[in-house]
Amino acid sequence: MRIFAKIKAWFSPLIAKFREFLKAIFQGATEIVLASLKDIAIRVVQEVAADPSIITDEDKRKAAFKRIQQYAVTEGIEAKDSLINLAIELAVQYLKNK
């Protein structure tokens, strides 16, 4: 058992550093994708909000999501659904506070 404790003690700092490394990579990737979607998200949210044929907030969110998702595909931006939703929320907050 003592050998396992030594191995664990030796590997624990390496595992912690690796986790920090992965966290930094994922955070950076998220920021890059959001930066790529920022301008289109703001424009789409404005356009959808001004469209009188889209009445409910849920329909507005779906319309914005679909348009931003299509833009991402066209531009080769690999954006998961959660990042598109986050871009929409950030655009909504930006426009409310503007």
Instruction: Place 25 in a pLDDT band, splitting at 50, 70 and 90.
Output: confident
For 75-92, how does the pLDDT look when each residue is reduced to its tens digit (9 = 90+)? 999 889 999 999 999 999
Q: Which domain holds residue 16?
A: 2-97
Instruction: Check residue 85 and report its DSSP letter.
Output: H
pTM of this prediction exceeds 0.95: no
For 41-50, how does the pLDDT look when each residue is reduced to its tens digit (9 = 90+)? 999 999 999 9
How many structural domains comprise the chain? 1
- Quick count: other Cβ atoms within 10 Å of Cβ 6? 9
Give CA–CA dist 71/76, Å, rounded. Answer: 8
